[in-house]
């Protein structure tokens, strides 16, 4: 059990490096507690939006919170790091395209290089970016090379001049502000003192329990959470394809199987997307390619589901009877404006390429995709009412709540891998 009595000076200023889906809500939440918070991002658009009192992403009451915090002078944004007492790094960690989809930690390294000149004794650095095991230690070593005048915890432990911890985010789009406050946090310190200082910072607003551990354990916890979900989704997706080949209703199979007291099968879909579940398992595969066999296979199954949906569409289009195809929902999950790693977006773009002039799309969050990106992908958007009336084939890819007002149209060919109109 770690001692939670923190002897270091209190944190009076904080920099959040990266103002994306995680960084901006986190920065606003800390500012709302009265902590002087500076958001740092390489995007001029994001910085200008925040300094104008606006959130550049769609997320519940985030716009209102940003406006309030900026108005009070507690939240500002800049494109270059400044000296503060603490730093939270919340930058992307994408995967590559090699066999094991090796993680790209260059953004974390770039963030470390950017803050290195501003560090001083007593600073606290927290990495929140989802990262392969060992990334926090790598960051500590990188900073030690850049600042040989300071002691870092990979060598000096509790005697380090700068404390470093890994504290993964555990929030979901659409509920970010609520879950930032209510969810438990895993506090992975590179030493007990590092963990204590990080925990003290999060307790400014976290009502959930702060669980203390090491940085490497915390890194693995985050990857494990999303890999667990990916494996279970893969079971549901594979089951849906098996049932289709056997001419069995997968939704009835799942409904009845889940009446067993120890069975809880998830719903299948058109694939797996987003910045977490579709990416994080590859970090484990890359670190342990010989032993992460089930995790790799789950990724393979889920990555193959969009191609299965495309094959279904192709079979129905073989005779040329389909004149217009409507794709309903393109974000990576229902009721969010996030298109990252979206299998639905990939399916719609592929169909637009295969059947030029025959594909129309509908998504209540189309504006977040942007006209330029839509044009690049060859996507044409129309209203839900319009596409349901004019299309011969309806492909339901994301079950947005906005679609619930529309019953399944009669006389249409409907492909519904998400079970929206089941």
Whether residue 395 has pLDDT greater than 50: yes
| Residue in 123, 222, 305, 333 annotated catalytic | 222
What is the Cα–Cα distance from 81 to 37, expressed in whole angstroms?
A: 12
Examine the residue annotation and report whether 324 is marked as an active-site residue of this protein.
no
> Which pLDDT value is given to residue 340?
86
Residue 121, number of CB atoms within 10 A of its CB: 10
For the full predicted model, state whether its pTM sits above 0.85: yes
What is the Cα–Cα distance from 181 to 96, expressed in whole angstroms?
A: 33
Gyration radius (Cα) of the chain, Å: 23
Whether residue 61 has pLDDT greater than 50: yes
116 pLDDT band, cuts 50/70/90, is very high
For residue 40, the 8-state DSSP code is E
Whether residue 94 has pLDDT greater than 50: yes
> Which pLDDT value is given to residue 192?
97
314 pLDDT band, cuts 50/70/90, is very high
Tell me if the domain spanning 13-208 has CATH number 3.40.50.720: yes
What is the Cα–Cα distance from 176 to 20, expressed in whole angstroms?
A: 12
Reduce the DSSP state of residue 143 to 3 states and report it. Answer: helix
Q: What are phi and psi of 319, to 5 degrees?
A: -85, 0
Contacts made by residues 171-174, CB under 8 angstroms, sequence distance 24+: 171/22, 171/25, 173/21, 173/59, 173/274, 173/333, 173/336, 173/337, 173/338, 174/59, 174/60, 174/335, 174/336
Whether residue 98 has pLDDT greater than 80: no
Residue 267, number of CB atoms within 10 A of its CB: 15
The predicted-structure confidence for 165-214, as pLDDT tens digits, reads as follows: 999 998 887 888 999 999 999 999 999 999 999 999 999 999 999 999 99
5 pLDDT band, cuts 50/70/90, is very low
> Which pLDDT value is given to residue 1?
37
Examine the residue annotation and report whether 276 is marked as an active-site residue of this protein.
yes
> Distances from the Cα of 250 to the Cαs of 196, 233, 392, 422, in angstroms?
49, 14, 24, 10
Under a CB-based contact definition with an 8 Å cutoff, are residues 93 and 103 in contact? yes
Same fold across 13-208 and 225-415: yes
Q: What are phi and psi of 32, to 5 degrees?
A: -65, -15
Whether residue 53 has pLDDT greater than 70: yes
Q: Where are the domains of the chain?
A: 13-208, 225-415
- CB burial of residue 376 (10 Å; 0-12, 13-18, 19+): exposed
- CB burial of residue 316 (10 Å; 0-12, 13-18, 19+): middle
121 pLDDT band, cuts 50/70/90, is very high
4 pLDDT band, cuts 50/70/90, is very low
What is the Cα–Cα distance from 342 to 8, expressed in whole angstroms?
A: 44
Under a CB-based contact definition with an 8 Å cutoff, are residues 230 and 277 in contact? yes
| Residue in 69, 123, 210, 276 annotated catalytic | 276
Tell me if the domain spanning 225-415 has CATH number 3.40.50.970: no
Under a CB-based contact definition with an 8 Å cutoff, are residues 281 and 226 in contact? yes
> Distances from the Cα of 316 to the Cαs of 115, 321, 343, in angstroms?
55, 8, 20
């Amino acid at each position: 059990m770690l001692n939670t009595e923190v002897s270091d000076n209190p944190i009076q200023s904080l920099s959040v490096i990266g103002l994306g889906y995680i960084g901006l809500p986190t920065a606003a939440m800390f500012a709302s507690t009265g902590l002087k918070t500076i958001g740092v991002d390489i995007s001029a658009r994001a910085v200008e939006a925040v300094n104008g009192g606006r959130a550049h992403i769609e997320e519940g009451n985030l716009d209102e919170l940003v406006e309030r915090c900026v108005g009070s002078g507690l939240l500002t944004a800049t494109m270059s790091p400044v000296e503060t007492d603490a730093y939270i790094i919340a930058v992307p960690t994408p995967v590559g395209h090699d066999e094991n989809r090796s993680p790209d930690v260059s953004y974390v390294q770039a963030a470390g290089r950017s803050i290195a000149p501003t560090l001083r004794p007593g600073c606290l650095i927290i990495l929140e970016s989802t990262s392969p095991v060992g990334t926090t230690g790598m960051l500590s070593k990188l900073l030690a090379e850049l600042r040989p005048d300071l002691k870092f915890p990979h060598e000096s432990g509790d005697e380090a001049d700068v404390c470093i911890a890994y504290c993964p985010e555990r929030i979901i789009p659409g509920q970010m502000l609520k879950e930032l406050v209510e969810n438990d946090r895993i506090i992975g310190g590179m030493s007990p003192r590092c963990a204590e200082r990080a925990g003290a910072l999060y307790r400014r607003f976290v009502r959930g329990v702060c669980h203390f551990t090491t940085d490497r354990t915390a890194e693995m916890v985050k990857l494990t959470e999303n890999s667990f979900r990916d494996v279970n989704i893969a079971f549901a997706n594979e089951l849906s394809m098996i049932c289709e080949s056997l001419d069995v209703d997968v939704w009835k199979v799942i409904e009845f199987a889940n009446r067993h007291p120890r069975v809880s099968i998830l719903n299948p879909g058109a694939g797996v997307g987003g910045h977490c579940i579709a990416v994080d398992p590859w970090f484990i595969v890359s670190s342990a390619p010989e032993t992460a066999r089930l995790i790799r296979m789950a990724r393979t199954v889920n990555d193959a589901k969009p191609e299965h949906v495309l094959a279904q569409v192709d079979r129905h289009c073989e005779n040329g009877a389909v004149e217009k195809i409507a794709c309903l929902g393109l974000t990576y999950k229902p009721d969010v404006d996030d298109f990252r790693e979206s299998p639905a977006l990939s399916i719609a773009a592929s169909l637009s390429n295969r059947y030029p002039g025959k594909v129309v799309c509908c998504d209540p969050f189309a504006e977040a995709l942007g006209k330029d990106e839509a044009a690049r992908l060859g996507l044409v958007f129309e209203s839900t009412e319009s596409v349901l009336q004019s299309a011969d084939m309806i492909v339901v890819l994301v079950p947005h709540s906005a679609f619930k007002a529309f019953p399944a149209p009669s006389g249409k060919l409907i492909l519904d891998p998400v079970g929206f109109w089941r």
